[in-house]
Amino acid sequence: MSKPALGRGLGALLSGSPATMTTAPAAAMPASAPAPLPDARDRVRRVPLDRIRPSAMQPRKNFSDDALKELADSIREQGIVQPLIVRERGGFFELIAGERRWRASQLLKLPEVPVIVREADDRAVLELALIENLQRENLNAIEEALGYSQLAEQFQLTQEQIAVKVGKSRAAVANATRLLKLPLSVQGYVREGRLSVGHAKVILGLSDERQQIIATERALKDGLNVRQTEGLIAKLSARGGKITSETAKTKVIVPIDSNIGRLEEKLREQFGTKVQLKYAHGKGAVEISFFSDDELQSVLEKLGVNAD
């Protein structure tokens, strides 16, 4: 399966068109239409591999050894089809995009690699790295959240501005960054894929860090699914965070109607936050949770309510 092409966001940040490794021979051009001068920004250069450095702005921290070996095998057979994007920094070249290709090239001990040199400030580098990884689904949920947080804190961007730049909804950005409120140990489980984002969002319903850790360990130990974890969180909240033998044995809340769970999931997707549907004999309530002013604003907009 071929890899998806980079989106328009990348081109906009790099301010250039796709590069080509070669140009057509002059003889192939009509005499009346001389070939235009190549854009220096898109000129492919070959530089020594040891002059390239990774970027501290790279949000992706985990690289699969097996995936890198597969990429290295492909490069050995086909070469590097897409040049690395770099910027000059203190006598070296710092990566803007293409760290996987750079790492795979190191495995092959290539003497040099093709690059395109661009001028870009730190914010552009971080935005580009985020967009490239998000489009290729390379980031785990915590890496994605840290990237958004860095854009917000280091460059004073709002969640709305971040959402526009990376092609996500504001609710998606808000929900992602909320994961950073979890204890580091719980974030580690999300990084490793042992705890799903769905579980993590439910655990955020507990305000106390110790309670969150206890709930996480219980969910992992008992293999609870998201619905079962919601039941555990409800029990913990009702008991002030204390796990009793009864709480430990309670693994699931069975809805009165089998459609309730599906309706709740649709409502969560619609509002981008935790939604609880309480139903009994044709009566009940819909409880929509929010965890920031931005999330509240997003909910109000979806409901068509003007806060002014």
Q: Which of 94, 99, 132, 144 is catalytic?
A: 99
Rg for the chain, CA atoms, rounded: 25
Active site residue 94: no
CA dihedral over 93, 138, 175, 192, signed as positive or negative:
negative
d(CA 234, CA 253): 10
d(CA 98, CA 47): 14
Chain CA centroid to CA 270, Å: 20
Question: In DSSP terms, which residues pair with 47 in a beta bridge?
Answer: 113
Residue 18: CB partners within 8 Å, gap ≥ 6? 11, 42
Residues labelled as active-site residues: 99
